[in-house]
Amino acid sequence: MTEPDSLGEWQPDRNLAMELVRATEAAAMRSTPWIGRGDKLAADGAAVDAMRRFLSTVNMRGTVVIGEGEKDDAPWLYNGEVVGNGEGAECDVAVDPIDGTRLTAEGRPGALSVIAVADRGSMYDPSAVFYMDKLVCGPIGVGVVDIRRPIGENIRALARAKRVDVSDIRVAVLDRPRHEQLISEIRAAGAGTRLLMDGDVAGGVNAARWDSNIDLCVGIGGTPEGIITACAVKALGGVIQGRLWPKDDEERQRALDAGHDLDRVLEANDLVASDNCYFVATGITDAEFVDGVKRNGPFVRAESIVMRAHSGTIRHVTSDMDPNRWS
């Protein structure tokens, strides 16, 4: 059941996140037979199908604003698709049935199934600019780090705030050719790197968590993943900053035509305007903050994390399911 806010508008209910976790569990469970089998399209297809079927039971009137269609040429969970059972609040829905399809296909750690939900119209529209230069860290970085400054300055400032040596700072970066100079600058500053094969969302969430081994996540990654990460960062009280990074002249012109200021630094409230937002993730393979799906005697165990920004609540959910009766 939903409750009206002070303006009389209907908001997503606090129980929504616990319904959403069934959809991420479903996607994680259905993708596990494909772990390590080298077929990321099959893994993603299984996850998309399972997530979509379970989302149809959730008490909301959701519109997918960050989906699979445009970036993966998928027939389901595309931008603009209506999801939910048609009751409850109107919501923006961002999905990534597998954040880390290559990690899943190769049997590597860090793959997640992710959903973020916020009030309708509150998620940022990047106008098909698929990449963003991002900086993410935890609450101690508020007012300390700034994406406009050189990475070395940010590392030293964060080390001072944490009262640790620069050599103790660990920075997560996607392992891509475009980041060769950035990685060199991080190491030249005296910090260590944690190079990510994939897993843009997991890297950002790890950097925002107070109990993580990652202090900072930087570099160019997906804009949709940045918006999803912002929902988690708002619950964790951390910092996320980003600037759109068009990959070519055509995308740059499209962004300018849509009215985007490519020099503008987008903060958490720009990426997700509402504090009434949720982040839900289930591990497919082991990640730092959730384990992957595992056989546990006659059951299959899935671990999830559920965050609600409005209350700052973070719940860890462990589900044991009989695969012969699970639905």
Binding residues are: 44, 68, 96, 99-101, 131, 176-178, 198-200, 222, 225
Question: Residue type for 257, please?
Answer: D
Q: Which parts are annotated binding residues for Mn(2+)?
A: 44, 68, 96, 99, 225
Angstrom distance (rounded) from CA 42 to CA 49: 11
Query: Token pair 């494909």 is at which residue?
Result: 34
**Helix (H), strand (E), coil (C) string for 279-308:** EEEEECCCCCCCCCCEEECCEEEEEEEEEE
- Alpha-helical runs (H) found in the chain: 16-31, 40-55, 69-72, 101-106, 151-162, 180-188, 200-208, 223-236, 249-257, 268-271
Task: Tell me the sheet residues that pair with 315.
Answer: 306
Report the C-alpha gap between 60 and 55 in whole angstroms.
Answer: 9
Instruction: Point out the annotated binding site for substrate.
Output: 99-101, 131, 176-178, 198-200, 222
Number of H helices, E strands in the chain: 10, 13
